[in-house]
Amino acid sequence: MIYDYATQVSLSVKSPGVAFGYPTAGINIADNDGVAALFGTGERLYMQFEVTTAFAASGETTPVAQFGVAVDDSVALSTSSHILALTGGTIAQDYVGFTASQLTLGKVFHLPIPAWEDVLEATGGDWPNTSSAAALTAFHNMRYMGPIIHVPNSNEGGGTTGFSAGAIEARIIKDIAGKANAINVYPGRSEIL
């Protein structure tokens, strides 16, 4: 598969006990057309996560990690970012996520990037029904997208649960299979006569 490295971000796990990890620089998805909400050409896009450093568990409780897609109006994603979606994973000690044994070097998984019209509900009412000029401007400024790592059980064991090692490369891709997806699921309905 051919990757566009302009849509790639690296992210390492934080210290054990830290619930969220954010990239210091998200992907500017408004580079081409100026409006982040219009990036792509209408097709389904995915965030691909590739483990580049194997994850190592730390703490008395088995840590789990969820990976997500977030958008922000600031290039450095943070607690003010809007998280659009999170991956699932295994249920481990009442938490959902991937365990260290599942996050080995080279592991690749995908998360569909959802639409994010709802991120302005806090500032723009029931977006898009309340579409004031200020709300529209704020929506257009959500131009930075990036991955996040969430450790939902980081507060277990006195806040010592987490990962002592682990890193991913995340990139926006169009086709996770490298082939026409419909052909993979359904038999062709056309023939050459």
Q: Residue 181: its pLDDT value, please?
A: 41
* Model confidence pLDDT, tens digit, residues 22-33: 999 998 887 655
* Model confidence pLDDT, tens digit, residues 38-64: 666 667 889 999 999 999 999 888 999
* Model confidence pLDDT, tens digit, residues 152-190: 999 988 889 999 999 999 998 887 775 444 444 444 445
pLDDT at 141 over 70: yes
Helices and strands per DSSP (H, E), number in the chain: 4, 11
Question: Cα 105–106–109 angle (5° rounding)?
Answer: 120
Q: Which residue ranges make up each domain of the chain?
A: 7-173
Question: Cα 180–69–19 angle (5° rounding)?
Answer: 145
Q: How far apart are CA 147 and CA 166, in angstroms?
A: 14
Output the pTM of the full model: 0.80
Amino acid at residue number 137: T
DSSP state of 65: B
* Interval 119-140 mean pLDDT: 65
Q: Residue 168: its pLDDT value, please?
A: 96
pLDDT at 19 over 80: yes
Residue 112, preceding bond cis, omega within 30 degrees? no
